[in-house]
C-alpha cells in the first residue's frame, strides 16, 4: 500500500489515440496513484488497464539518464549480452558536438538529402513541430516522417482525396448518437479500449445496431448484429459488394449525392460486377449476409464507420479507405451528428505528429512543401531557404539506407527495429548508415544501433500537448523531473540546432505552440492557456473560435466530396505450398506497439509476459500442436519462435501474432510490399509455415 500523494497533476495517457485524461498522484517524485479525470470529455474518468496500471515504466531503472556514445571498437551489429556494453557515458557537450560534426560532415560530402529524420507519435506536438523544423530549416531536407507511415498513411492520402481532410470527421461522442455502427478492421476493445466500451454501451444501452467486419473474430464481433468474417485483403470487394446492394435496393442518398458529391456516375458503374455471389466468392462472406448488411447500412439514419489498421495496412490501403469514404457519401452519412468517418488513430499523438508536418510532403497543417506561397511563408518565419522537393517516406528511407543513398538518420523516439516490416532487411539497411543518432527514454532495439543516444524526458516530465484521434488538442502537464540529465525532446533538438548555427528562440513549449498557431491555420486559435482540462478540437481558427466537433458540415473541406472508383486487388503475397498459412499481425490489450514502455510495467508484463501465435485448432491438430507448444514460424523473409495459442478466433489456414516482442519479432516475417500511393507496408497479410519446434 503506497503512501498518499502530496500533489496531483492532470495530464494525458501516453498510450493510444483515444487520449484519456489521467490524474497522477505524486509523492516525492514518484507516481503513487493514477485515476481517470472525470472532466475530460473524451474519457469521462475511464481508463483501460494500460492507462491505470501501465505508467510505472516512468520509474524504471532502465530509463536513460545520460547521453551515450558508441565505443569505437563495437560495431552496430555486435550484440553484447547487455546492449549498454556497446556504449560509454558521455557529457551533453561531447555528445551534441559529436552529432553536429557527423551531420555536418555528411551534408558537406553528400548534400542535405543524404539525411533522414524520424519524428515521433509518442512525443508532443511541440516536440514534433521542432523536429520537422530541425529537418527542414537546419538540415535543409524534407526527409522527415514518422510511424503514421506504418499505420494511417493510407487514411491521410485517401481522406484528403475524398473529403479534403485526413482526419476523423466527427467526435468520439458521436458513437453514442449513431443508430448503426460499422467497425471494420479494428479490434477496438483491445486497441482503443475506451472507445470500444463506448461502442458496447451504444449497442447495449442505446440500441444501436453493430456490424463488425474482420478476418479475425474480435470481442466486438460477439456484440454484433452481423459479423462479416471476410478473408484478409478483401476489404474493397466486401465494401463494393455492400454498396452494389445499397444502390440496387435504391437505398443510396440521392439528394446528398447530388448536392454535395462528384464523380458519382463513374463510381456507381464500377460497382456493377460486385454482385452478392461474386462478393461471396471473393470474400468468403455468404451472399445472404451481404444482403442483410447492405439493408442495415442503407437504412441507417446515422451511421458511423470506424476502422483501424485492418483497413490501412495493405498494398490496397488507400483504396480500402477510399471505399470506406464512398460508403459514407453513398449513404449521406457525413456532416451530421451521430455519423461519420472514424479512423482510429493508433498512438497517443499520431494525429498531432501528422498535423505538425512530421511528413515528407507537408509543413504543419498539411500545407504542401511544393506550394511556392507556403514555402515563402515558412522561409520568412524561419529565416531559412527551404527545399520545395517532397522528401522520402520512412519506408523509402529504409530502402535508401540499403542502397546507400541515405547516409545518416536522426531518430526521435521511434523504434523501427521492431516496427518495420521485414526486420532483417531493415536491420541490414540501418547497419549500412554512416551515422545514427537516437533520442529516447530507453535503450530500444533502434537506439542500440545508434552512434549517439540522447536521454529524453517522458510524457510525465514535459509540458506540451497531444492531439487525439478526434482532433482534440489536449494539454500535457509536467508532474515529475526527468531522470538524471534527461531533457525534453525539443530542447535536445534546439541545442543541436544552435550548434549547427541555426538557433531556435524558444524559451518553453508554450512559445512553440504560439509559433505553430501563427503558421498553421487549423491550429490558429490554439495556445496552452486555452486548453484547460477539455482541450480544443481543430480546426480552431482564432482565439475566439471554440474549435470544431465536426468536419464537412454543409460542405466538404475540398468543396464536393469525391467518389473514387476502386477495384478489388489481391494481397502481394498469398499462401503457397511452401508457406501454406496466412499470418496477420496486430496488437493485444496489455501491450503497446514495440513494448518499450509496457514491457517495463510490472502489471502489464505480468498479465502478458510472452508472445503467442494464434492458430486454429484444426491446423494445430494437423501439425500435432497443443496449447503452449513452441512453434517455429517461417516466412520468405525470416523466422521466429513463439508459443501456440489454439483459438477459433482465426479461421483454418490463418494465424495471428502481435508484434510487441523483441524475442519473437513478428515483423521478421511480415511483407514489406507497400501501397503504391501511401507507401504503407502490408502488415496484415504474409504467407508463413509453422512447425513444431
Ligand atoms: Fe490510455 Fe488508450 Fe487506455 Fe485511454 S484507452 S487509458 S488513452 S491506452
Q: Is the pLDDT of residue 78 over 90?
A: no
Q: Is the CB of 47 under 6 A from ligand 1?
A: yes
Closest atom, ligand 1, to C-alpha of 19 = 7
Q: Is the pLDDT of residue 293 over 70?
A: yes
Cα of 521 to ligand 1 centre, how many Å?
A: 29
At which residue does the C-alpha cell 498557431 appear? 517
* CA triple 58-64-70, angle to 5 deg: 160
Determine the pLDDT at residue 596: 87
Q: How many CB atoms are closer than 10 A to CB 503?
A: 12
Nearest to 655 by CA among 613, 685, 683: 613
Ligand 1 pocket member 672 (CB < 6 A) = no
Given ligand 1 and candidates 46, 52, 193, 598, which is best to mutate, with the most ligand atoms within 8 Å of its CB? 193
Which class is domain 86-151+348-462+480-520? alpha beta
pLDDT at 653 over 60: yes
Q: Which three cell numbers, joined as nine digits, stand for 201?
A: 454501451
Residue with cell 495471428: 656
Q: Tell me the pLDDT tens digit for each residue of 471-494.
A: 999 999 999 999 999 999 999 999
pLDDT, average across residues 67-94: 91
Q: What 8-state DSSP symbol labels residue 559?
A: B
For the ranges 114-128, 358-372, 677-691, which has the lowest average pLDDT? 677-691
* Distance of alpha carbon 538 from alpha carbon 467, whole angstroms: 9
Does the beta carbon of 51 lie inside 6 Å of ligand 1?
yes
pLDDT of residue 76: 84
Is the beta carbon of 198 within 6 A of some atom in ligand 1? no
* E strand or H helix that includes residue 613: strand 612-615
Tell me the mean pLDDT in the region 293-322.
Answer: 96
Check pLDDT > 70 for residue 88. yes
CA atoms of 434 and 408, how far apart (whole Å): 6
Cβ of 592 less than 6 Å from ligand 1: no
CA distance 444 to 414: 9
Q: Where in the chain is the domain with CATH 3.40.228.10?
A: 169-344
How far apart CA 320 and CA 298 sit, in angstroms, is 19
Q: Where are the beta strands (DSSP E) in 452-580?
A: 452-455, 464-467, 472-476, 536-537, 561-562
CATH 3.40.50.740 boundaries in the chain: 86-151+348-462+480-520
Q: How confident is the model at residue 133 (pLDDT cuts 50, 70, 90)?
A: very high
CA diameter of the chain: 72
Please list, in sequence order, all residues whose beta carbon lies within 8 angstroms of the beta carbon of residue 500, skipping any fewer than 6 positions away: 100, 103, 104, 138, 139
Distance in angstroms (rounded) separating the CA atoms of residues 656 and 393 = 27
pLDDT of residue 498: 97
Question: Is the pLDDT confidence value at 434 over 80?
Answer: yes
334 lines ligand 1 (CB under 6 A): no
Q: What is the mean pLDDT of residues 601-628?
A: 93
Contact 19 CB / ligand 1 (< 6 Å): yes
CB 96 within 8 A of CB 475: no
The three cell numbers locating residue 138 = 537546419
What is the spatial distance between Cα 650 and Cα 669, in angstroms, rounded to a whole number?
A: 18
The CATH classification number of 169-344 equals 3.40.228.10
Residue 20 Cβ inside 6 Å of ligand 1? The answer reads yes
Mutate to test the pocket of ligand 1, among 12, 20, 172, 348 (most ligand atoms within 8 A of CB): 20
Each residue's pLDDT tens digit, 557-585: 999 999 999 999 999 999 999 999 999 99
Ligand 1 within 6 A of CB of 21: no
CB neighbour burial string for 309-327, b if at least 16 within 10 angstroms, e if fewer: bbbbbbbbbbbbbbbbbbb
Res 437 pLDDT > 70: yes
1 pLDDT higher than 70: no
Residue 495 scores a pLDDT above 70: yes
Q: Which atom of ligand 1 lies nearest, measured to the CA of 12?
A: 7
Residue 50, ligand 1, Cβ within 6 A: yes
Q: How far is the CA of 476 from the centre of ligand 1 (A)?
A: 15
Which own/partner contact pairs does 320-323 have at CB distance under 8 Å and 24+ positions apart? Answer: 320/154, 320/158, 320/185, 320/235, 320/236, 320/239, 321/154, 321/155, 321/157, 321/158, 321/159, 321/162, 322/158, 322/161, 322/162, 322/564, 322/566, 323/235, 323/236, 323/239, 323/240, 323/243, 323/566
Q: Which of 226, 129, 132 is nearest to 183 (CA)?
A: 226
Torsion-angle region of 559 (φ positive above 0: left; ψ -120 to 50: alpha; else: beta): left
Q: Which fold has domain 581-692?
A: Barwin-like endoglucanases (2.40.40)
Q: Is the per-residue pLDDT at 90 higher than 90? A: yes
- Residue closest via CA to ligand 1's atom 1 equals 51
pLDDT of residue 346: 82
**How many CA atoms within 13 Å lie on the side-chain side of 615?**
31
Alpha carbons 76 and 371: distance in angstroms, whole number? 40
DSSP string, 261-294: EE-HHHHHHHTTT--HHHHHHHH---HHHHHHHH
Which of the four pLDDT bands, split at 50, 70 and 90, describes residue 447? Answer: very high
Contacts of residue 636, Cβ cutoff 8 Å, sequence gap at least 6: 573, 579, 687
Residue 67 cell numbers, joined: 547521453
- Give percent of the chain above pLDDT 70: 100
- Kindly state if the Cβ of 121 falls inside 6 Å of ligand 1: no
Q: pLDDT band at residue 540, thresholds of 50, 70 and 90?
A: very high
Q: Is the CB of 18 under 6 A from ligand 1?
A: yes
SS3 track for 57-120: HHHCCCCCCCCEEECCCCCCCCCCCCHHHHEEECCHHHHHHHHHHHHHHHHHHHCHHHEEEECC
Q: Give the three-class secondary structure for 465.
A: strand
Quick one: which atom of ligand 1 is closest to the CA of 48?
3
**Tell me: the pLDDT tens digits for 243-275?**
999 999 999 999 999 999 999 999 999 999 999
pLDDT in tens, 392-413: 999 999 999 999 999 999 999 9
Q: Where in the chain is the domain with CATH 2.40.40.20?
A: 581-692
CA atoms within 13 Å, Cβ hemisphere of 354: 28
**16 CB near ligand 1 (under 6 Å):** yes
Residue 144 and residue 116 in contact, taking contact as beta carbons nearer than 8 Å: yes
Residue 13 near ligand 1, beta carbon < 6 Å: yes
Quote the CA–CA distance of 317 and 19 in Å, as a whole number. Answer: 25
What was the pLDDT predicted at 52? 94
Residue limits of CATH 2.20.25.90 in the chain: 7-59
Q: What does the pLDDT read at residue 148?
A: 78
Contact 158, 451 (CB under 8 A): no
Distance CA 475, CA 295 (A): 43
**For residue 390, with 0-12 CB atoms within 10 Å meaning exposed, 13-18 middle and 19 or more buried, which class applies?**
middle
- Measured in Å, residue 9 CA sits from the centre of ligand 1 at 17
pLDDT one-digit tens code per residue, 307-320:
999 999 999 999 99
Q: How confident is the model at residue 80 (pLDDT cuts 50, 70, 90)?
A: confident
Residue 621, pLDDT above cutoff 60: yes
Atom nearest to 49 CA in ligand 1: 3
Instruction: Round the average pLDDT of the chain to a whole number and report it.
Output: 95
Nearest CA to ligand 1 atom 3: 48
Helix H, strand E, coil C: the string for 623-687 is HCCCCCCEEEEECCCCEEEEEEEECCCCCCCEEEEECCCCCCCHHHCCEEEECCCCCCEECCCEE
Task: Give the pLDDT score at 472.
Answer: 97
* 287-299 and 235-248 helices, crossing angle to 10°: 60
pLDDT for residue 152: 84
Q: CA separation (Å) from 297 to 49, 218, 249, 261, 304?
A: 33, 21, 11, 19, 10
Which string of DSSP letters, residue by residue, matches 419-441? HSSSHHHHHHHHHT-SEEEEEES
* Percent share of the chain, pLDDT over 90: 89
- The confidence score (pLDDT) of residue 77 equals 80
| Residue 34 near ligand 1, beta carbon < 6 Å | no
Is it the case that residue 295 has pLDDT exceeding 80?
A: yes
pTM, entire model: 0.95
Q: Choose the weakest-confidence range: 46-60, 178-192, 600-614.
A: 600-614
pLDDT of amino acid 400: 97
pLDDT for position 267: 98
CATH class of 7-59: mainly beta
Give the span between the Cα atoms of 557 and 543, in whole angstroms: 21
pLDDT(172) > 80: yes
- Answer whether 588's CB lies under 8 Å from 619's CB: no
Q: Which cell is 344 given?
A: 482510429
Distance 22 CA to ligand 1 centre (A): 9
Which of the listed residues 11, 12, 14, 15 should we mutate to test ligand 1's pocket, taking the one with most ligand atoms within 8 A of CB? 15
Ligand 1 atom with minimal separation from the 18 CA: 7
Amino acid at each position: 500500500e503506497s503512501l498518499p500523494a502530496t500533489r496531483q497533476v492532470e495530464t494525458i495517457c501516453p498510450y493510444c489515440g483515444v487520449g484519456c485524461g489521467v490524474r497522477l498522484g505524486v509523492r516525492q517524485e514518484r507516481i503513487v496513484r493514477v485515476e481517470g479525470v472525470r472532466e475530460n470529455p473524451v474519457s469521462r474518468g475511464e481508463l483501460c488497464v494500460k492507462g491505470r496500471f501501465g505508467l510505472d515504466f516512468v520509474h524504471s531503472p532502465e530509463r536513460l539518464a545520460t547521453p551515450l556514445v558508441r565505443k569505437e571498437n563495437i560495431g552496430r551489429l555486435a550484440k553484447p549480452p547487455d546492449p549498454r556494453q556497446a556504449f560509454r557515458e558521455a557529457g551533453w557537450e561531447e555528445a551534441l558536438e559529436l552529432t553536429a560534426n557527423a551531420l555536418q560532415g555528411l551534408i558537406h560530402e553528400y548534400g542535405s538529402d543524404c539525411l533522414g529524420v524520424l519524428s515521433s507519435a509518442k512525443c508532443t506536438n511541440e516536440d514534433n513541430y521542432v523536429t520537422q523544423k530541425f529537418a527542414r530549416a537546419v538540415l535543409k531536407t524534407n526527409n522527415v516522417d514518422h510511424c503514421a507511415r506504418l499505420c494511417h498513411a493510407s487514411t491521410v492520402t485517401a481522406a484528403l482525396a475524398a473529403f479534403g481532410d485526413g482526419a476523423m470527421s466527427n467526435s468520439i461522442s458521436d458513437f453514442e448518437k449513431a443508430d448503426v455502427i460499422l467497425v471494420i478492421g479494428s479490434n477496438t476493445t483491445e486497441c482503443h479500449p475506451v472507445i470500444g466500451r463506448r461502442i458496447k454501451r451504444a449497442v447495449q444501452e442505446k440500441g444501436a445496431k453493430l456490424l463488425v467486419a474482420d478476418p479475425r473474430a474480435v470481442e466486438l464481433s460477439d456484440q454484433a448484429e452481423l459479423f462479416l468474417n471476410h478473408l484478409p485483403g478483401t476489404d474493397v470487394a466486401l465494401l463494393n459488394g455492400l454498396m452494389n446492394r445499397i444502390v440496387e435496393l435504391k437505398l443510396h442518398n440521392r439528394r446528398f449525392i447530388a448536392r454535395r458529391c462528384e464523380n458519382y456516375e463513374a463510381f456507381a458503374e464500377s460497382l456493377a460486377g460486385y454482385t452478392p455471389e461474386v462478393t461471396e466468392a471473393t470474400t468468403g462472406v455468404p451472399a445472404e449476409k451481404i444482403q442483410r448488411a447492405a439493408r442495415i447500412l442503407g437504412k441507417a439514419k446515422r451511421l458511423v464507420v470506424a476502422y483501424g489498421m485492418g483497413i490501412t495496412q495493405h498494398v490496397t490501403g488507400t483504396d480500402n479507405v477510399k471505399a470506406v469514404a464512398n460508403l459514407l457519401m453513398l449513404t449521406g452519412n457525413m456532416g451530421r451528428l451521430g455519423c461519420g468517418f472514424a479512423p482510429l488513430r493508433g498512438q497517443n499523438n499520431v494525429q498531432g505528429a501528422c498535423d505538425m508536418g512530421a511528413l515528407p510532403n507537408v509543413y504543419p497543417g498539411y500545407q504542401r512543401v511544393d506550394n511556392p506561397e507556403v514555402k515563402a511563408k515558412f522561409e520568412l518565419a524561419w529565416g531559412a531557404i527551404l527545399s520545395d522537393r517532397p522528401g522520402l517516406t520512412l519506408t523509402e528511407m529504409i530502402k535508401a539506407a540499403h542502397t546507400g543513398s541515405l547516409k545518416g538518420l536522426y531518430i526521435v523516439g521511434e523504434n523501427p527495429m521492431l516496427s518495420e516490416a521485414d526486420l532483417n532487411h531493415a536491420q541490414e539497411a540501418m547497419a549500412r548508415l554512416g551515422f545514427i543518432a537516437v533520442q529516447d527514454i530507453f535503450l530500444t532495439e533502434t537506439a542500440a544501433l545508434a552512434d549517439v543516444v540522447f536521454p529524453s524526458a517522458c510524457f510525465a516530465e514535459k509540458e506540451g500537448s497531444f492531439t487525439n484521434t478526434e482532433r482534440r488538442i489536449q494539454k500535457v502537464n509536467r508532474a515529475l523531473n526527468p531522470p538524471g540529465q534527461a531533457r525534453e525532446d525539443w530542447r535536445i533538438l534546439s541545442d543541436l540546432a544552435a550548434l549547427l548555427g541555426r538557433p531556435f528562440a524558444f524559451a518553453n513549449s508554450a512559445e512553440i505552440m504560439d509559433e505553430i498557431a501563427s503558421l498553421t491555420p487549423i491550429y490558429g486559435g490554439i495556445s496552452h492557456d486555452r486548453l484547460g482540462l477539455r482541450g480544443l478540437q481543430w480546426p480552431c481558427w482564432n482565439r475566439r473560435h471554440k474549435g470544431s466537433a465536426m468536419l464537412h458540415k454543409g460542405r466538404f473541406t475540398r468543396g464536393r466530396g469525391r467518389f473514387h472508383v476502386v477495384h478489388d486487388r489481391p494481397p502481394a503475397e498469398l499462401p503457397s505450398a511452401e508457406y501454406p498459412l496466412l499470418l496477420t499481425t496486430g496488437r493485444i490489450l496489455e501491450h503497446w506497439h514495440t513494448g518499450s514502455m509496457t514491457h517495463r510495467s510490472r502489471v502489464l508484463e505480468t498479465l502478458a509476459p510472452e508472445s503467442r501465435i494464434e492458430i486454429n485448432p484444426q491446423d494445430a491438430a494437423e501439425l500435432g500442436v497443443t496449447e503452449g507448444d513452441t512453434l517455429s514460424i517461417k516466412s520468405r523473409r525470416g523466422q521466429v519462435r513463439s508459443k501456440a495459442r489454439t483459438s477459433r478466433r482465426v479461421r483454418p489456414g490463418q494465424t495471428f501474432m502481435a508484434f510487441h516482442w523483441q524475442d519473437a519479432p513478428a515483423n521478421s516475417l511480415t511483407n514489406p510490399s507497400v501501397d503504391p500511393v501511401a507507401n504503407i507496408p502490408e502488415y496484415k497479410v504474409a504467407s508463413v509455415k509453422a512447425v513444431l519446434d
